[in-house]
Amino acid sequence: MPEDSNPILRWQRQDLPPTLSQRFEFDSYAETRRFLDGVAKLAEAAQHYPNLSFGKTYVSVTLDADGKKLTPDIVALAQKIDALATKAG
């Protein structure tokens, strides 16, 4: 995949403490719920629980690493969440 289409590039990276975050917007509450349920399944599979903020038509996801370095597993989880949003939106 060419680098500029790599979905992970859309996430905001923060360094102290290391986090990846992204906001997703949806057209309806039903889509928002579908996305949230999908994120919950991914989180349980990865045993890594993001912090989520959401309202009727948006979800903000923040992945952290308990103050340690972001691992490839966390980046992979972000990419899976992106893929989910592409399907839901």
Alpha-carbon separation of residue 67 from 2, 14, 15, 41, 63 (angstroms): 31, 11, 9, 24, 11
Residue 43 CB, shortest distance to its own copies, in Å, is: 8
56 binds its own copies (CB under 8 A): yes
Select the span of 9-17, 51-59, 65-73, 74-82 touching its own copies (CB under 8 A). Answer: 51-59
First to last CA, the chain: 22
Alpha-carbon separation of residue 64 from 9, 46, 89 (angstroms): 16, 13, 25
Residue 30 CB, shortest distance to its own copies, in Å, is: 10
40 binds its own copies (CB under 8 A): yes
Near its own copies by CB under 8 A: residue from 8, 23, 31, 33: 33
67 binds its own copies (CB under 8 A): no
Percent composition of the chain: helix, strand, coil (DSSP 3-state, to 5): 45, 25, 30
Q: Which residues bind its own copies (CB under 8 A)?
A: 29, 33, 40, 44, 49-56
